[in-house]
Amino acid sequence: MKLTPNRLESFKHSFEAISLLTGEEFFGGLARKIGSALQADAVWVTEYHKDQNSMTTKAFWHLGHYLDNFSYLIQAPPCERVI
């Protein structure tokens, strides 16, 4: 997805809007704002656990709603190559 000038500006405003938040509010706001700016169906912010080769979501925004956080192994899914 290409970031057009309008979308890039929207992305910038998203970060400005959440810059004063902390903790869970920050991660939730980050996921929601990125999802909105990029018009993505889902965005999740995760913590990587190298020793367990797993990730834990800090916030998961999907189709306009927050989902419960969860942990998952990253062996075999498509994201393993990226990480």
Domain ranges in the chain? 5-82
69-78 CB burial, b ≥16 within 10 A, e <16: beeeebeeee
* pTM (global) more than 0.75: no
CB 14 within 8 A of CB 37: yes
SS3 29: helix
Assign residue 64 a region: left if phi > 0, alpha if psi is -120 to 50, beta otherwise? left
pLDDT of residue 81: 72
Percentage of the chain beyond pLDDT 90 is 42
pLDDT digits 0-9 by tens, 3-32: 677 777 877 777 787 888 888 899 999 999
Name, in order, each residue with C-beta under 8 angstroms of 54's C-beta and a sequence gap of 6 or more.
48, 71, 72, 73, 74
